[in-house]
Amino acid sequence: MKITMIGTGYVGLVTGACLAEVGNNVVGLDVDARKIAILQEGGVPIHEPGLPEMIARNVKAGRLRFTTDLDAAVAHGLLQFIAVGTPPDEDGSADMRHVLAAAQSIGERMNDYKVIVDKSTVPVGTADHVRETIAAALAQRDARVPFAVVSNPEFLKEGAAVDDFMKPDRVVIGADDERAIALLRAVYAPFQRNHQRLLVMDVRSAELTKYAANAMLATRISFMNEMANLADELGADVEHVRQGIGSDPRIGYQFLYPGAGYGGSCFPKDVKALQFTASRHGRPLQILAAVEAVNEAQKLRLVEKITARFGGSLKGAVFAVWGLAFKANTDDMREAPSQSIIGALIAEGATVVAYDPVAMTEARRVLGEQSALTYARSPMEAARGADALVVVTEWKEFRSPDFAELKRALRQPLIFDGRNLFDPAQVRGAGFEYFGIGRR
């Protein structure tokens, strides 16, 4: 099938590459000429495991190419996926400018039947706006071309995006047009040969499903962060509590890890956008208000522990920060807790030496060059001469460091573990003073 992917960010690139992988002919379009140039030269502008190989394979096979040429891109695909960003607007609502610009571009150019697929996370009712935008653009040039708009929210996780797309838990299709539904069934058939995972529903339910999913996951994280903070007060160990409740199949183990708060490009903005929609409809979501407030406070929980341990002042102290990305296996720095933590440490008069296996370039772009923040080439280099180690991202390579070497590198053997990566008994046995999140 001929497919156009509008937007070649985390979602568009992965979706485009995976659709090409199963034999479709995919054109990826972006307004960011720099990104397209990188892709055309064989590079990949983001870090996503397995993606460079998949892109290279499909480009070579002639099933995947990248362009900034709108005319060619719109002419190409029977299916036009919109996978552009929907960042938060100033009032917390989702900024639909890019989605509607993409719809406008399609409406101005399409000459035959197209299915427009909203892959971006968009507020309930957006498919109607997309439909209206395209209809208005067609009317403007007196064109009568049939089309359908479908909601197909994406559930992939950065860091495991290729796997998630190739083996989805479910594929949600929101549509009321039988021809469009049949086309999407065909597109997704190769990804569910084992058993049927396609859920077809009305458009609004599909749009809400995506927000409800992210809101539920964010809720689990904030819930566990509150339990961890309480465990700190009560002398309990949240790791035991996590296992104790996770073993209940009604609860399950996933997304029960307390830490430095959730970040990334999705949860913070989606929780805000859902709140905005709910309030506008007179149904503010009390649970989500708490989820957000708990998360904001949690980002600074580690800094509170550090400040208390340093007797109230961090002036002149040096901290090694391991991990900058908002989670492991990505270079995404959007809303990363590291930003809040490093900002607070520096505001308290400390200096920071940071290390991340893949997000250093992105961190430099986001955090900028500051005299109080330098970057190290390895975890141990960051630790050398620091007053304490602060673990912020759960990268695998941080999990089992040479504790003897770490102890020699640090000025004092002190660890603040914002992801509960280490076993407190083991670390204390190695001579460290250890602070986790809700750990005994």
Ligand X SMILES: NC(=O)c1ccc[n+]([C@@H]2O[C@H](COP(=O)([O-])OP(=O)(O)OC[C@H]3O[C@@H](n4cnc5c(N)ncnc54)[C@H](O)[C@@H]3O)[C@@H](O)[C@H]2O)c1
Binding residues (CB under 6 A) for ligand X: these are: 6-12, 29-32, 35, 83-86, 98, 101-102, 120-121, 154, 156, 158, 265-266
In angstroms, what CA-CA distances link 392 with 17, 147, 301, 321, 352?
A: 31, 47, 12, 7, 13
In angstroms, what CA-CA distances link 399 with 65, 226, 429?
A: 39, 24, 16
Nearer to ligand X, 154 or 237 (CB): 154
Cβ of residue 428: shortest distance to ligand X, in angstroms? Answer: 37
Give the relative orientation of helices 337-347 and 301-309 as an angle to the nearest 10 degrees: 30
Grouping H, G, I as helix, E, B as strand and the rest as coil, residue 260 is coil
- Burial profile 337-369: b = 16 or more Cβ within 10 angstroms, e = fewer: bbbbbbbbbbebebbbbbbbbbbbebbeeebee
Helix (H) or strand (E) holding 322: strand 318-322
Cβ of residue 92: shortest distance to ligand X, in angstroms? Answer: 14
Helix (H) or strand (E) holding 416: strand 414-417
Cβ of residue 277: shortest distance to ligand X, in angstroms? Answer: 14
Residue with tokens 């003073």: 433
Helix (H) or strand (E) holding 353: strand 351-355
Nearer to ligand X, 161 or 346 (CB): 161
Residue with the shortest CB distance to ligand X: 9
| Token duo for residue 233 | 């007060």
Give catalytic status of residue 18 as yes or no.
no
Cβ of residue 119: shortest distance to ligand X, in angstroms? Answer: 6
Nearer to ligand X, 45 or 190 (CB): 45
Report which DSSP code applies to 2: E
Cβ of residue 318: shortest distance to ligand X, in angstroms? Answer: 34
Nearer to ligand X, 9 or 424 (CB): 9
Nearer to ligand X, 40 or 226 (CB): 40
> Among the options 54, 82, 175, 266, which is catalytic?
266
Helix (H) or strand (E) holding 220: helix 203-234
Question: Catalytic positions, please?
Answer: 266
